[in-house]
Structure 1
Amino acid sequence: MGKEYSYDQLNEEIQKLMTPDFDSLEITGGEPLLHSDYIHDFLKKYPYKAMLETNATKPIELDNLNDVIDIVSMDIKLPEHFNSKDEWIEVYENELKSIEVMQLNNQKYYIKIVVSPTTPINVINKIMKDINDISKEVEIIIQPVSPMELWDKKDNLFKISEIIGKNHSVSIIPQIHKYLNVE
C-alpha cells in the first residue's frame, strides 16, 4: 500500500527530485489506470509532460487521460503469461480496445511485448493481424525475457522480429531493469 498525497504534496515531492535534465514524468505502477481520475486531475493542475506506462486493460480510463498524457507505453501480454486462455482473451480484448481508443484520439503510443524462447509464432501472427486491423503506424518493442542465457538459440526471437517488422517499426530491447537488479 502506497502513501496518499494531495495534488500539492505530490507536486512538492516531484519538485524535490527535479534535475536540470528533467524531460517528463513517467507514471507507472502497479497499474496507474486504477487511479486515472487522480492522475487526470493532478496533471490538469500541474501540466507536466507525462508518459503513462500501463497494461492497457482499462480502455475507458485510458480515454479519460488522453488530454493530459503525452505518450503511452502499453503492454500486450501473451497467453503464456496467464493460467487460462479465457483469462488471456479478456485481457487481450481490452488491450485491443485501448489501441482503438488511442488511435481515435491520435494519442502517441508504442507497444511492448515480452517474449520467451518458446513464444508460439502463431500467437505473434494473430496479435500482429489484430493490431494491423487497427493501425500500421505503431512502434513495437520486443523485450526478450531475462536472463539472456535462456536464449541459447535466437531463431525464435529473430522470427518474431521479422513478423512484426513486416508492417511496423520494431526494436528489440532487453529487460534492463532485470540486468540492473531494479524492481
Structure 2
Amino acid sequence: MQGEGLLIGKRQIFIRFSGCNINCIYCDTENSKTTELGKEYTFEELNNKIQELMTPDFYSLEITGGEPLLHSQYIHDFLKKYPYKAMLETNATLPNDMKILTDVIDIVSMDIKLPEHFKSQEEWEKIYKQELETIKVMESENQKYYIKIVISPTTPVTIINKILEDLKSITSDNIEVIIQPVSPMTLWNSKENLFKISELVGIKYNVSIIPQIHKYLDVE
C-alpha cells in the first residue's frame, strides 16, 4: 500500500532498488543505501515475482530505492518488455537518467531536499541544483510528476520562499506539491510552522499536507 504522496492508499507492488547516491540525515530506508543487500533479477524473474504478488486491487508498480535512477536503463528495458503502470519515487538528482525513463513512467514522485537534510550547505546546494535540472527535463518531456518536501517544526520559511522563487520560472502552475511533516508526529508540539509553509506554497501551487499514513497503520 502506498503510504504517502498523491497515490496514498493505492495498492502498489514495491520494487526497491539498492544503492543511493546521496546521504540524507533523515533517511528511513538505511538498508537500501548499500548495494550489498541487493539481489539481481532477470526481467523474467522480476515479472514472475510481480505476478506472485498481483491482486485485483493492484494500481501500479512503485519503483523506489535507495535511488532507482541509478538503475534507469534496467527499469526502462523492463517496462518496455512488461508495460506495467508505474510510479517512480526518486531524489531527482540524476537528470540525464530521468531522460531515459520519461517514455515508460506514468508519474514521478520527486523530493526537493532541504539544507537541514544534509551535513553541509555545500552538499545541499549541489543536490538542489540537480533536482531543478531534473524538473526541467520532466517539463520538457511532458512527464507527469509531483513534488514532495519533507519539513520539520523548525524548517525556515525563508528556504521555502527560495525554493518557490526558483520553481516559478521552470514549472507549470498545475504541479502538485506535497508537504510531508517529518515523522513521528509527536515531534510536532505545534503545527504553526506546518500550516504557515502550506499557506505559502498554496499561493502558487496546489498543495496538500500528507503525513506518512503507512506508519500510522504500522505497514512496512
Give the match's secondary structure for 1:134.
coil
Q: Number of residue pairs matched?
A: 183
In the other structure, the counterpart of 1:97 is 133
Residues of 2 paired with 1:177 and 1:3: CA distance? 25
Residues of 2 paired with 1:182 and 1:89: CA distance? 34
Output one character per residue of 1:38-73: Cα deviation in whole Å (capped at 9) or x when no partner. 000000111111100001010100111000001000
TM-score of the two chains, using structure 1 as the length reference: 0.96
Give the match's secondary structure for 1:106.
coil
**1:175 corresponds to 2:204:** no
In the other structure, the counterpart of 1:164 is 201
Equivalent in 22, 47, 66 of residue 30 of structure 1: 66
Give the gaps of 5 or more residues in structure 1. Answer: none
Q: Note the C-alpha offset of 1:24.
A: 1.1
Residues of 1 paired with 2:215 and 2:127: CA distance? 25
Moved more, 56-65 or 21-30: 21-30
In the other structure, the counterpart of 1:4 is 40
Moved more, 128-137 or 6-15: 128-137
Higher relative contact order (CA 8 A, sep 6+): 2
For residues 30-179 of structure 1, the aligned pairs below 5 Å read 30-135=66-171, 136-179=173-216
User: Normalized per residue, which structure has more helix?
Assistant: 1
Residues of 1 paired with 2:58 and 2:122: CA distance? 42
Residues of 2 paired with 1:44 and 1:88: CA distance? 34
Give the gaps of 5 or more residues in structure 2. Answer: 1-36
Q: Note the C-alpha offset of 1:33.
A: 0.4
